[in-house]
Each structure stands twice: as C-alpha cells, then as structure tokens.
Structure 1
C-alpha cells in the first residue's frame, strides 16, 4: 500500500464510509493527514459528531469545526471551545467546493464574541491573542456583513471601538450612538472617524516608491493641489489608478484620466458611479478578463447608482457583471434580489465571457447547456465551482474523455453512466488532475481498486472511491494500527 496515512485519510473522506469505521478511527491515534481526511468528509452520522465534539485531540475538533459539509448548527457547538484555535477554526470555516458561504447561526457569532471578550485563555500562553481571534472573524468570507456591523450595538466597549473602523458601513443611528457612547475612548474614536471621512487627505507619501497611501487616495477627499499633483504632476504614477475611482475627484480631472494612456485607468474611470451610459460609452476602455470566480468584485464597481435591472441592460460589461452577481449570499455579491428570468437568460448568453460565467455562478435557473458552455469557455481560478451549480449536467459527460482540455476530461468523474473502459483509460491520462479524479469513479472495478491502493500517487484517491468494499476500509485501519471491536 502507499503511505498508510494517506490511505486512512482517503477512507475517512470516502462518501460511503460507514459510521462504525469512523468511530473506530476516532478511538486511535490519528495523524495530521488522517485528520485532513475528516476535514473533507462529506457527511458524518450524529453519533460520530458527538464523539468529535468532545474528542481530546484538538485536530479532530478542528476537522469538524472547519468541515464545510457539516451543518453549521453542529459546527457552531465549537465556537466556545476552550482551545482558542478550535474556536477560530469554527468561525473561519472551510471552503465548500461550490464556493458558497456557509455562515454559522447569528447566535453562534454572539457566543463567539462573548467567549473572546470574557475567556481567560490558556495560562501557558495562547497561540492566538484576543485581537487575532477578532481579525480571523472579520476576515472570514463566511462571516455575514451584518455581524461586524452589529459591533456598534454590542455591550463590550472593545467591540464598539472596533466598529468605528467600518464607519461608513453603519446606519446613521448607530453612528450617532457611537459618537455619544458612554465610554470616552469609543466616543473619541467615533468622532475621529466621522471627521476623517470628511476631511481632506494631507499626509500622502510622495516618495517614488511610496505604497502606503493607495487606500486613502481611493476614498478620502483630496485637496485641489494634491489631486492635480496625482493626475497631472510628479506623484508616483501608481497613485493614478486609485485616484481614478475616488468619488471626490473634480470632474475636470476625471475627464483627464478618461483619456489617460493607461487602459487600466480608463477602465476605472468608466465604472465611476456618477457617469451616464453615454459618458461611459465615450471612454475608450478595455474590460479586464475575469480571472477568478471567487473575486469578481475586483473588476466590478461597488457603489453604482441604479438597480440590478438597470445594470443588466447597460452597454458596459462591468455593470452587467455586477447585475450577474446580484441576489446571492456573501460579501462578493449584491444585496439586491435575484434577477428576473428574462434578464438572467439574456445575461447567460451575453457576448462578454465574464458576464456569462458570473451569471452561471450566481443565478439559479440557468439552462444546463449554458452552465456547461460557461465551464468550457472559462479557464480562470475556481472554474470547478460551476460544476456544483444546480442543473449542471452529469449524464453524457463521458463523451469528453478524449477532449484536449484536461478540465473537460475531469468531468467524466461526474457521469454515473461512464463505462469502466472509459474510466480505466483515463487512469493513465497524462494530467495528474484527471488521473486522481477518475480514481474516485465508482465504475473502477474492485480488483483494480485494490491494485490502485498500492499506487503511491493514486492510492489515497482510490481509498475515497465509494465502490471500495467496507471490509477493505477496515483492513486499511488495521494496517494503521487502529484496534477492532472498540
């Protein structure tokens, strides 16, 4: 057999592994690789979850806490774990292959915040400080934005102090309350934040290599002299793209940047929220290619004027991309409702690849053939997210076994009707991603699976194959030294 830890991890992550095998494994000494298998398992029986919640090895608890396939209500039981690393792992979560957020229940975040504020921690020294735990919560893509906006109304002064960092995201009543807070430090921070969003930026780093002022140049008001220096003068040239998106920039300087020789700057000007359709069309912009399905907002304006319906009808592809992201969950998507069917269908066949792909990624009800077309056409990061969309086809994918695109050949794994002959042929594919994917196809005959377990490369993937007999799973645990009959 290949490395026993890899085989055990494969068994523990096998979608067909019985609860008795999981319970048996949890009685033994699990290595890091095996715990990784638990972290990727697609389902746990309730009795297994109960054992994992109280397991003495924190790596096992972390595997449950960060497993995106586990019900968030079950994972939330670990938000107050005495080990701070486990508690943070719970709120940070793992990433499901479909890329959609799996937030915890709101009350779990409240319990986590109270745990962070009031727990004494490990007297021997924690790996994570209180501030680091809060940073992990805020940085997690699964944390709903209303959770950190709620800091303004928390009883802990430390959290109200943190709320001031997101000043512009708070509603007016919360801003006023923070400026009148009974704690002097919170009042001062809030009043400073209210002042900062109105005052002109004056402490710009003008050195040729200065990189510390970009965020402020993007958002804060600029003096006329500084704005001219950035747009027309000797300021570091990398400041101009940031100034191009500054909503406070005077109109005449915006017009200058609209003719800038740098296409990135012209693009940034073209997505300014105050522009009309005609003004956008007058700019010679180039829309950057969508590179990452998990980060579309890097190319899509955040503060547009209008509605998703208006954006969907825009002549500017970036606005249509924003419309395509509407109606979903998570920070990267619009808070507006889902698009009407006719607009969704129009965007799904849009001439811009980014619009088509984002429509398939975020909208429900896209036709299966269009989902498959988007997957075929898009070659950026997280392409595989599209295969988890509702309606993505499965039957008939074996026809791509000879496709020159490895990503298309991988789709054969999702075809339950693929023949053993086709699957076995792909086990010798020149691309590793195809070989490892097809080692998990249930059409692989059992005798060949047993041979694959000895393959250093494919063994751990063969151990994940749902066609692997349960007795073979137990024999792998035997080889790992896990006793039977416990």
Structure 2
C-alpha cells in the first residue's frame, strides 16, 4: 500500500509514522510523494528513513537536496551517492547550489563513487573557472579538454590546492616526467601512462623492442602523443589489434589510410572506414562490415558539445557508424531527428530513441519491438513512449512485449485478468497493478503469495479499502 499511487495522504503519513522499516523504505525510496509527506520524511527521527529518501530517484532532486545539511553522516552519504536506476537510466542532477555546497563542505570520502553523476552539464562546464576554489579543483579534472588559457589560469590560481592539482595534471604532458614515473611492471599506472600520457622516445622504443606485457604496442598505438614516424611504423604492424588502433588516429597520412583501407583484417578496415579525412566516395570503396549483434547504450552528454556541422555531416553519411554517432547527439535538430528516425540501420534508430529527448513515440515503440539487447527496458522510460494501443500486444510471443499491455489504460478487463495468469512472472506482476483488473480477481490476488504486493499497489482500490487494508495489516479484506 505504501507504493499504491492512490493511497491517500493520511494513509502515507500513517505508514511513515507506524510502518516497519521495510514499509518506510519503499515509501521513502521508491515513489513520488505528496509535499506534506515529504516534509514529514525530512523531519523523521529515524536516520535510515531519511537516508531512504536521500537516494530516491523518483522525487524532484530539489526535495532530496533539503537533506544537504542533515546532522547524520549516513544521510549525507546517501545523498552524495547517485540514486540507482534501471540500466540506461541517469539520475537527474541535484541543484547546482546544492552540489557546490556539498563540494565545499563535505569530506572527500563522501564525494567519491557516483556523486559526479548528479552534477549538471552546465555546472561541469563552469567548474574550471568557478569562484569557489574547491569547485575549481574539480574542474582541473577536465584538464585535457580545457583551452590553454584556462590551463594557464589554473596553474597560476590563487588557491594552493588548485595550483597543486593543476601542476599534477600538467606533468602528464611532460614526457620526461612521465618516463621517470613509468612503473617497470604491468599495473594500472603503467597502462594509464601508455594509453593516455605523454610518451618520451625512450619509452616508445622500449615498448617496441621489449614490452613488459602483451598488448603494450596496441596501447601506445592509440596514444595521442605518439610520434609521427612511429604511427607510420605501427600502421604495418603484424598484429591486427595494433593496426586497428592506428586506423582510428586522426593524424594518419594518405599513404597509411590507403594501405589500411585494404587491410586483410575486417576490424582494421572497419576502423579506417570512419576516418574523418575520408570522402564519402573513399568510404564507400572500403570493404567493411557492420557488426550485427551490437548492443546500444544511452550516452552521457559530452563536456564539449560537437560542432553542429560535423553532426549534420555524419547524419547524412552513407556509413551507418557515423549516422549512429550523430544519433546520440541530444541537440540534433528536428529535421535530422525525422530523417534518422526512419533510418535503415537498427543501431541508428535505437541510439536516437535512447538519447534524444524528443524521440517520437513511433520510433520508441518500433525500437522496443525490434531491439532486444542491452538497455531495451530503458526505452519505455523515455518521455514520449506511447501508452495507447499497446493492448494489441497482449498475445505477443515475447513476454516483455506482452507486458506493454500494462501501460495501456484501455486494455480490456478480461485481457488484464488473463495476463495475471501469464506464464511469465514479470507479466503477471505488472498486470496485477493495472487499474482495469476486475475487482473479484484483484481481491483474490491479495491472498496470492506471489502477487499480493503487486495487487496491493493497484490504484483501483478506493480509499475505504485502502484504509481497511492498512488497518488489517495483511489480513483478508
């Protein structure tokens, strides 16, 4: 009953005051709450109860942020930890002022883990120049993406901690310093340097002649500081993994591009086929194959927005991977959304559905029906996912598709009742919550060990029954 959207405010307040911990947990963590209940939660004497609300992904983040100065460490820790959502879901950011306050006053140990997922993109972009020094310290973490002028300002910052952090990041661009720091054994620090940091000629030569571990040649092949002559050398490396890494480099010369375009390895040819220096005609001449069993994911908004002209160029490309890249851009204009929504490539359509805030209802439904990979369920959480007409899928072979009938307010009562006996437990559960479930079956389910919880959350109960159910605490109506 704590999860029932039709439970009256007085019932929720009673459950909050009298319910056992399990009830308070689902009430405070797993649903939207009326304002009066929110106020009662914020003042609740039980630390864990406030902690449940601190990590509620359903309520307005500004409501959660009212716990920012809670006297208990546990509650502040739960607020700092990003709420957990189903695969593909991203928590809504906390208000910027709350984030700045937390960075300024919380111990560093509370801001580890997933706290960063609650920071808005707008605040991220202002962090390197923010008036609060501790926020600028966070901004230093975007060092490689910062303009030279901003880097110089951070190196000369009035705050010692900001300067120290900036100097540490600047050292990553000093190949001599990185050479001295490079561990002589295979470990995370060594791989990080080989993949991302400035490489001296000595380090590169040692990797080419006496690597410490397998895969180090492929690691330096993607390093942005690799010397031009070594790029040429590795373009003919006998290891296809090395050539595949080289094929993605923007600094490849024409001769290397031509050679890799005809490489005997399919993975190398595919990597070269999306090179930014190729014309559409050159791209079309490459014999590449698009993987057919790819999984697609919702993408975080980039720190640096893409150039709209580059996005438009990729959206009009004949190469599916470039169109997929364009499809992840959240600022894609309406004409490109319309074009990519009917693209021939499943990946383009699904990525557009997963990422664009205005993905049309027809695209979202089509993507759900045609795609059964990772984050499929995330599609149903998108803003425009349809509700009407879904009852037509009540007899579909795929149980996840049959379950869509639970989202349709016009699903016939007889169909709802039948699906509460579906062979799939997830289908039974969601249909037991449908308000069109006939009352006799709904009452019957309160005695069903499997579906009693789902039936109790059904919004079809009137307030009199809700009060009776709470009073009887699990006894028969």
Matches within 5 A, 1:10-49: 11-32=1-22, 34-41=24-31, 43-49=32-38
Of the structure 1 ranges 350-359 and 366-375, higher mean CA displacement relative to structure 2 is found in 366-375
1: CA distance, partners of 2:385 / 2:314: 26
Q: Match of 2:98? A: 108
Counterparts of 2:313 and 2:208 in 1: how far apart (Å)?
31
Deviates more, 1:410-419 or 1:54-63: 54-63
CA offsets 1:249-289 (integer angstroms, 9 cap, x no match): 43414633145777666655655666665666647464574
Does 1:447 pair with 2:450?
Answer: no
Residue matched to 1:466? 459
Q: Indicate the residue corresponding to 1:294 in structure 2.
A: 298
In structure 2, the partner of 1:55 is 44
User: Following the alignment from structure 2 to structure 1, what is the Cα–Cα distance between the partners of residues 196 and 273?
Assistant: 17
Mean Cα deviation higher: 355-364 or 173-182: 173-182
Q: Aligned pair in 2 of structure 1 residues 319, 227: CA closer, same or farther (>3 Å)?
A: farther
Quote the offset at 1:50 in angstroms: 0.9
Partners of 1:217 and 1:267 in 2: CA distance? 24
1:255 corresponds to? 235
Q: 2:89 aligns with which of 83, 99, 108?
A: 99
- CA change 1:194–1:464 in 2 (3 A) is same
- Does structure 1 retain, via aligned residues, the 8 Å contact 2:183–2:189? yes
**2:171 paired with 1:189:** no
Match of 2:318 in 1: 315
Partners of 2:76 and 2:432 in 1: CA distance: 35
Stretch moving more, 23-32 or 364-373: 364-373
- TM-superposed CA distance for 1:402, in Å, is 1.8
What TM-score do you get using the length of structure 1 for normalisation?
Answer: 0.79
1:73 aligns with 2:50: no
| CA deviation after TM superposition for structure 1 residue 183, in Å | 4.2
Which protein, 1 or 2, shows the higher relative CO under an 8 Å CA cutoff with sep ≥ 6? Answer: 1
Which residue of 390, 400, 403 corresponds with 2:393?
400
* Alignment partners' CA distance in 2, 1:269 and 1:215: 25
- Greater CA drift, 453-462 or 91-100: 91-100
Task: Give the whole-Å Cα distance in 2 for the aligned partners of 1:237 and 1:285.
Answer: 27
2:349 alignment partner in structure 1 = 356
Q: How does 1:81-96 map to 2 (within 5 A)?
A: 81-95=70-84
Displacement of 1:396 after TM fit?
A: 2.2
Distance 1:402 1:418 in 2: 12
What stretches of structure 2 of length at least 5 have no aligned partner? Answer: 237-242, 248-259
Residue 334 of structure 2 corresponds to 341
Deviations 1:305-350 (A, max 9, x none): 96211221233333222211212xxxxxxxxxx2233321221222
Residues 1:433 and 1:254: Cα distance change in structure 2 (over 3 Å): farther
Query: CA offsets, 1:366-417, max 9 Å, x none?
Result: 4433321111111122212222334433222222122111111110111111
Q: Does 1:326 align with 2:306?
A: no
CA distance in 1: counterparts of 2:316 and 2:184, whole angstroms: 41
- Maintained 8 Å contact 1:91/1:143: no
Q: Give TM-score scaled by structure 2 length.
A: 0.80
Q: Distance in 2 between matches of 1:321 and 1:229?
A: 38
**Where does residue 246 of structure 1 map in the other structure?**
223
Q: Deviations over 1:35-59 (max 9, x none)?
A: 1343111x32211111111111123
Unmatched 5+ residue regions in structure 1?
A: 1-10, 117-129, 328-337, 482-486
In 2, Cα distance between equivalents of 1:185 and 1:146? 23
Preserved CA contact (<8 Å) 1:293 1:383: no
In 2, the alpha carbon distance for the partners of 1:403 and 1:48 equals 40
RMSD: 3.5
- After superposition, the Cα gap between the structure-2 partners of 1:454 and 1:274, relative to the gap in structure 1 and judged at 3 Å, is farther
* C-alpha contact (below 8 Å) 1:263/1:285 kept by paired residues: yes
Residue aligning to 1:376:
369
Q: 1:360 to 1:157 in 2, by over 3 A?
A: closer
